[in-house]
Structure 1
């Protein structure tokens, strides 16, 4: 069975094709395997996804967790792990710390969440001493495959920053733009969302949207066309934008949606998932390496898409490191 057929099979497990995710996986398959430290893959769902991604040539996993438990689950899955490296640690907290340590030692290019809490993993990542912080604010993006929408939608931030300040949003927007560029999106159109498309002093998110747009005009945010405030309907639906007579290169065509806060982002992503049959591949950006966040409810194709997105981000980072300083 070829890798391409395997991707289609994984896609069909959830009763529909996922052409957008399949394209991401196919692009990532053309890149070098991503060396991924998998933190505490101690259930069938997380470990099964690791083997799927490895078999498709997306990742070269390093399994970090209790070796006895990992081997028992692997045996139950009927997988061969003779060529897979295991780093034996006692528990999930130690697994998160060791995964970060592997990145700092240059042995891994990304981290993948296994069967541990997101807070536990991110606690090790953001630790000031020995973590993976950079000068940027760390933020989360969903790459959403919405059946009725032509292109993938990037939604940020729905998992990390609870009530981001305007300064935080500069990094959130830039991280999302960099993700879109790594995904080969062109042009990148960013909509700063609010409840309306006009600036209203009584609604802070509209003022922040206007400020972010002006920052983009002045080169403080780069790499995309940005507009806001925009309501969700006129951000993604050209008909709605036309009815409102909004003249904008972004309105009706946005492929990156920046929400006001975590609650809005979480509700938007879950609404699309449960009401529109969408899937949500998750990744954390702004750290030294991409962090692959998966959910226990994720389908196989969604987990593969998360790995593919991380591979594309890591490839973009390699390119930037290869550019000589002027």
Structure 2
């Protein structure tokens, strides 16, 4: 634990309390979040430091920006430790010797070398070293020392979150590689769903087939300033007719994906689930959200939060298999599946715990393939290694889940919306198990969510060797 965290009191050293040779230091391990915060505050968005995948050819800029972050660490030592509160930073002469990168542990040390009694000014030698002991910053700082003693409780700073979404960016990049596919966009008579289709077309994910009343859709596009030149048309007078027409386009091979527009889910899914003419394949039809949560280190799939209201065991097995197949397609080599319940122990009064145990046994016997299952697990134990360790849970899934299988639709819906609206998650949603992927968005979903959802559909529609 950092000394500043352990000590609730902050206290300065006045000019009269200091002596030549006095020293103080502060150590910090650099994270991408540190660099992001520095870039956000300074406005310096050079990809050399804000893009982790950038090939840092501009090494001079890389050194200066990260070096300035290190200079901030020197300022923190001077402002909080020596001299501490009341000090006035007059100037500095610093030299950036080596680059500072994410993962480096930097120790900033200041040593008092000169005292000027006329104005109570002091001069410090400054040194920042990395974890190997190599100097990354050297130089001098000029400070006017405090003359009055300060001792007060340390201020607790508010938490600051930087929202990066590398998971969804990777999904979008992966999906673009396959090129556009013809997609039946069902009844896009509102600006948001129509914009979602146009965005996906511009991203190279689909060639939209707009299924609905052409005059209404064109009027919506004109009002919203949307270009429909990349779109094809399929006439349908109303929502139910549009849903039926979309299914027909799949059967004739004209559409390889279906995307929901401005109609209710049950209207869209009714012809999809028709036992004679629909898009059933013999697999369980289920829905999965893929979420990129800023404080979680990997994409998180939550299922089923939109189709299966209260699934029985066999339905859950199909839901799990669909989610594993989706995880594999988006690049998760061995998906870790947490079967959620309120507790980690089996209880006859909690059927979800019994289903979880049965699903794990089904995986052991090859009835569910491609992933590693564990359950029942409470939500905290599924996503937090610390919580799992506290409860003594030894598992390759606990704390590191890629897939969360919820007990029922209500639990899943609440969980997903909490992550989106309170935790800053980006999300995409997709219907699995039908003859083609179905992009099933909510009317409240943003254009970004619709784009991510279309990318998921594109990945699922792609041949396995391209996925």
* TM beyond 0.5: yes
CA contact (8 A) 2:360 2:373 kept: yes
User: By percentage of residues, which structure has more strand?
Assistant: 2
Mapped partners of 1:25, 1:256: distance in 2? 19
CA contact (8 A) 2:288 2:323 kept: yes
CA contact (8 A) 1:136 1:171 kept: yes
Q: Which of residues 396, 412, 424 is equivalent to 1:265? A: 412
CA contact (8 A) 2:280 2:434 kept: yes
Query: SS of the residue aligned with 2:360?
Result: helix
Query: SS of the residue aligned with 1:281?
Result: strand
Query: Counterpart in 2 of 1:254?
Result: 401
CA contact (8 A) 2:198 2:227 kept: no
TM-score normalized by structure 1?
A: 0.91
Q: Are positions 1:237 and 2:418 aligned together?
A: no
Unpaired runs of at least 5, structure 1: 1-14
CA contact (8 A) 2:283 2:434 kept: yes
Q: Report how far residue 77 of structure 1 moved.
A: 2.6
CA contact (8 A) 2:207 2:230 kept: no
Stretches of 4+ aligned residues off by more than 4 angstroms:
none
Mapped partners of 1:136, 1:288: distance in 2? 9
Mapped partners of 1:17, 1:170: distance in 2? 33
Query: Counterpart in 2 of 1:118?
Result: 265
Q: Which of residues 290, 312, 320 is equivalent to 2:437? A: 290
Q: Deviations over 1:89-141 (max 9, x none)?
A: 11111000000100011111110000000110011110112100111111011
User: By percentage of residues, which structure has more helix?
Assistant: 1
Query: SS of the residue aligned with 1:115?
Result: coil
Mapped partners of 1:160, 1:236: distance in 2? 24
Query: Counterpart in 1 of 2:282?
Result: 135
TM-score normalized by structure 2?
A: 0.64
Mapped partners of 1:59, 1:256: distance in 2? 27
Mapped partners of 2:377, 2:419: distance in 1? 18
Equivalent runs, 1:1-326 vs 2, <5 Å: 16-315=163-462, 318-319=463-464
Mapped partners of 2:235, 2:344: distance in 1? 53
Mapped partners of 2:234, 2:422: distance in 1? 40
Q: Report how far residue 17 of structure 1 moved.
A: 4.4
Mapped partners of 1:138, 1:297: distance in 2? 23
